[in-house]
Amino acid sequence: MQEYWELYMKNLEGKPASIQFNAGISIEIEELEYTYPTVAYVKAKLKDPKENGLLSENEEPEILFLEDKLEASMIKFRIGKYVGRIISDGYVTFLYYVQYTYNWVDFIEFALNEHESYEIGNGHTQDHGWNYYKNLLYPTVKEWQLIQNHKVCDSLKEQGDNLYLKRAIEHKIFFPKEDRKEELALALEEQGFKVNNELTNEEGVKGIGFYRLDKPFYHDIDALTLELIGIAEEHDALYDGWETSVVKS
């Protein structure tokens, strides 16, 4: 199984939450759903909670040690897969999918024997459809785009880019149905974009490339790409990301 972890922020029941999840699992999810039908959790109350859904510097080492101990216990008893972590509303919750639960008590006892100072709960329930992974941990289309946005912004920043400077940012949209292509192009032009080329992806789906002068700073590009996702969805199309050149001060 491929280990490929992502971290992002979302709103969870009106509270900010940081979600860390194993994205690599999604590649093998059909097989894993059958093999590991039970979702299990370990939930710890934070001693030094932060309102933004992140760990405090003081508490982070303890929580990471707890996470490592849980993972070591999961491997020792060979009962399941660690799929993600949620930090929100003063708690950290570790989620797993397990094959069986007859030695769950042994797993918990081994994992938590060094963390008696924490208020910790745990449990498990059947989840044959992996709904907790698909609907709670796994990001929506818009959340995925924000993850990719921040990766590109981080890369630009590492190259010395001044993210506050406007420059041409190029975007792509693909449309499985071409009957609304002209309508989509017109909607983009009304927003100040210039359509500059036609595209075809590896699956043979047609699309268009377009650009506009904008700032690639985190908040600005997030708002822009969410707007473009909305425009694409209104025209039965799929937004496929952006790119730009490095611009230094």
Mean pLDDT, residues 22-43 taken together: 92
Per-residue pLDDT, 55: 94
Tell me the H-state helices in 191-217. none
Residue ranges of domains in the chain, CATH in brackets: 5-137 (3.30.70), 141-243 (3.30.70.970)
Whole-angstrom distance, CA of residue 243 vs CA of residue 221:
11
Per-residue pLDDT, 31: 85
Tell me the H-state helices in the chain. 29-35, 60-77, 104-112, 131, 141-158, 181-190, 218-234
Per-residue pLDDT, 3: 78
Distance of CA 46 to the CA centre of its chain: 23
pLDDT at 249 over 90: no
pLDDT at 1 over 70: no
- For 162-220, the pLDDT digits (tens) are 999 999 999 999 998 888 889 999 999 999 999 998 998 888 899 999 999 999 999 99
Q: How far is CA 61 from CA 91, 110, 150, in A?
A: 15, 19, 25
Whole-angstrom distance, CA of residue 241 vs CA of residue 207:
12
